[in-house]
């Protein structure tokens, strides 16, 4: 069976850099960016983007609802 | 164009569909909560359930005092502010005058288990047909991390710097177990929102609480054990770990009272 594929997009300006999504990702896709957003928080980004399966685990735990998930069905 | 943008274009060309985004029932105002706070997830779950049940225009939320005092800024539904601890009393009034509306209160532990204990217990005892969502982080988060009735034994807070001492401070109050004993409650459960699996379970519990209002059988009480990383003085990831190791021992997750 082919692996499910997907990607996520972040509303980086609303991200508060809590890192919960980085911890929640089962495939080690996400990491914190060394850049900061307008509020001064490091925001998360897709480091290993080709590993993403679109499982939405990151979006489930994101307290600020900044993540949008796309998935190839 | 960067690699990641090319990759996204490629997946979109293969028919990638948007499977999750912020619900329309949440306003565009960014949450005022600290980074990593469980309130944001609970707000989202309640609003998603309201959207999925298609009761956006028939739901009235009540936010009393606490970190959630300005929940009406974030929830795009009818909301009413209550005096500190008096949300169940206000919800009673709203539900009795408009019995076809869905009414919920959103309370913290300082509100529900401290100043509002009387209102909570009596609303539960009367079996008012409302839903209470109780976010328990074991501390008074908004006012600076003082000891709450739900603070764990030995837990350090700004007013118990040597840890909660049961001889002088009393024992932690578990209101959820208390109200489960009352005949007026129909559904009592304790959930958390720190992992994706727990978030999904919590959403089911919130959905059940709303659906129970149609049955007119009594009060639904959903406790959500949450973190307060600012009050506990930890990073969000650490505070979730601490919560798993300590909070869940005193406040075990699971259904406490299921509909008969």
Residue A21 pLDDT more than 70? yes
DSSP SS3 for A42: strand
> Which residues from A are below 8 Å from B11, CB to CB?
5-7, 70, 72
Interchain contact, A65 vs B36, CB within 8 Å: no
Residue B10 pLDDT more than 80? yes
Instruction: Show which residues on chain B lie within 8 Å of chain A, measured between beta carbons.
Output: 3-4, 7-8, 11-12, 14-23, 26, 30-31, 33-41, 44, 193-196, 199-200, 229, 235-237, 240
Interchain contact, B40 vs A23, CB within 8 Å: no
Among all chains, which residue has been given the structure tokens 């109050």? B173
Question: Is beta strand A67-72 parallel, antiparallel or unpaired with respect to A6-10?
Answer: antiparallel
Residue B177 pLDDT more than 70? yes
Strand positions, DSSP E, B66-166: 78-81, 102-108, 131-136, 139-140, 146-147
Helix axis angle, B117-126 to B87-97, nearest 10°: 30
**Which contacts (CB < 8 Å, 24+ apart) does range B87-90 have?**
B87/B62, B87/B63, B87/B111, B87/B112, B87/B116, B87/B119, B87/B132, B88/B116, B88/B119, B88/B120, B88/B122, B88/B123, B88/B124, B88/B128, B88/B130, B88/B132, B89/B119, B89/B123, B90/B62
Mean pLDDT, rounded, for B39-51: 95
Mean pLDDT, rounded, for B56-74: 92
Interchain contact, A61 vs B7, CB within 8 Å: no
Residue of A nearest to B38 (CA): A63
The DSSP call for residue B157 is B
pLDDT in tens, A29-69: 999 999 999 999 999 999 999 899 999 999 999 999 999 99
Structural domains of chain A, with CATH: 6-68 (3.30.70.20)
Interchain contact, B18 vs A69, CB within 8 Å: yes
Q: Is A6 on the interface with B (CB under 8 A)?
A: yes
Mean pLDDT, rounded, for B82-98: 95
Distance from CA of B101 to the nearest CA of A (A): 27
- CATH number 3.40.50.970 given to B35-257: yes
How does residue B93 score in pLDDT terms, banded at 50, 70 and 90? very high
Mean pLDDT, rounded, for B121-136: 94
Residue B256 pLDDT more than 80? yes
Interchain contact, B15 vs A24, CB within 8 Å: no
pLDDT in tens, B179-189: 999 999 999 99
CA distance B244 to B225: 10
pLDDT in tens, B130-174: 999 999 999 998 898 999 999 999 999 999 999 999 999 999 999
Radius of gyration of chain A (CA): 12
CA distance B235 to B240: 9
Residue A2 pLDDT more than 70? no
CA distance A28 to A69: 16
pLDDT in tens, B201-240: 999 999 999 999 988 888 999 999 999 999 999 999 999 9
CA distance B75 to B44: 9
Domain boundaries, chain B: 35-257
Looking at residue B223, its pLDDT comes to 95
Interchain contact, B40 vs A65, CB within 8 Å: yes
Distance from CA of A51 to the nearest CA of B (A): 11
B198: enclosing H helix or E strand? helix B196-215
Q: Is A56 on the interface with B (CB under 8 A)?
A: yes
Interchain contact, B40 vs A63, CB within 8 Å: yes
- Count of CA atoms in the C-beta half-sphere (13 A) of B69: 11
Mean pLDDT computed over every residue of chain B: 93
Question: Is beta strand A6-10 parallel, antiparallel or unpaired with respect to A30-36?
Answer: unpaired
> Which residues from A are below 8 Å from B237, CB to CB?
18-20, 23
Sign for the pseudo-dihedral over CA of A46, A48, A49, A53: negative
Sheet with A67-72, side-by-side order of all strands: A6-10, A67-72, B16-20
CA distance B105 to B91: 7
CA distance B215 to A73: 37
Which candidate, B228, B250, B209, places its Cα nearest to that of B61?
Answer: B209
Residue B260 pLDDT more than 80? no
> Cα B223 from chain centroid?
6
Mean pLDDT, rounded, for B110-123: 93
How does residue B259 score in pLDDT terms, banded at 50, 70 and 90? confident
Residue B1 pLDDT more than 90? no
The DSSP call for residue B163 is -
């Amino acid at each position: 069976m082919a692996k499910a594929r997907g990607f996520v997009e972040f509303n980086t300006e609303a991200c508060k850099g809590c890192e919960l999504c980085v911890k929640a990702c089962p495939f080690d896709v996400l990491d914190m960016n060394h850049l900061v957003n307008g509020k001064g928080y490091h925001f998360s980004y897709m480091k290993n983007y080709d590993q993403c399966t679109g499982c939405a685990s990151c979006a489930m735990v994101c307290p600020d609802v900044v993540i949008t998930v796309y998935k190839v069905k | 164009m960067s690699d990641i943008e090319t990759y996204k274009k490629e997946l979109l060309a293969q028919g990638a569909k948007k499977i999750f985004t912020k619900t329309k029932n949440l306003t565009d105002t960014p949450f005022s909560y600290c980074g990593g706070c469980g309130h944001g997830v609970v707000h989202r779950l309640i609003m998603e359930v309201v959207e999925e049940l298609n009761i956006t225009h028939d739901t009235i939320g009540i936010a009393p005092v606490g970190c959630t005092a300005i929940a009406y800024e974030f929830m795009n539904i009818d909301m009413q502010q209550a005096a500190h601890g008096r949300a169940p009393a206000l919800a009673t009034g709203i539900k009795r005058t408009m019995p076809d509306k869905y009414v919920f209160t959103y309370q913290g532990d300082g509100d529900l288990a401290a100043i509002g204990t009387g209102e909570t217990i009596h609303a539960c005892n009367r079996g008012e047909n409302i839903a209470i969502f109780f976010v328990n982080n074991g501390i008074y988060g908004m006012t600076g991390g003082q000891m709450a009735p739900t603070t764990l034994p030995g837990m350090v807070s700004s007013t118990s710097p040597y840890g909660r001492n049961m001889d002088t401070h009393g024992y932690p109050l578990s209101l959820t177990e208390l109200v489960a004993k009352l005949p007026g409650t129909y559904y009592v459960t304790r959930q958390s929102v720190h992992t994706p699996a727990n978030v999904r379970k919590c959403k089911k519990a919130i959905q059940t609480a709303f659906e129970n209002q149609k049955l007119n059988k009594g009060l639904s009480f959903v406790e959500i054990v949450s973190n307060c990383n600012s009050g506990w003085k930890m990073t969000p990831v650490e505070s979730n770990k601490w919560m798993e190791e300590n909070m869940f021992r005193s406040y075990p997750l699971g259904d406490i009272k299921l509909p008969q």
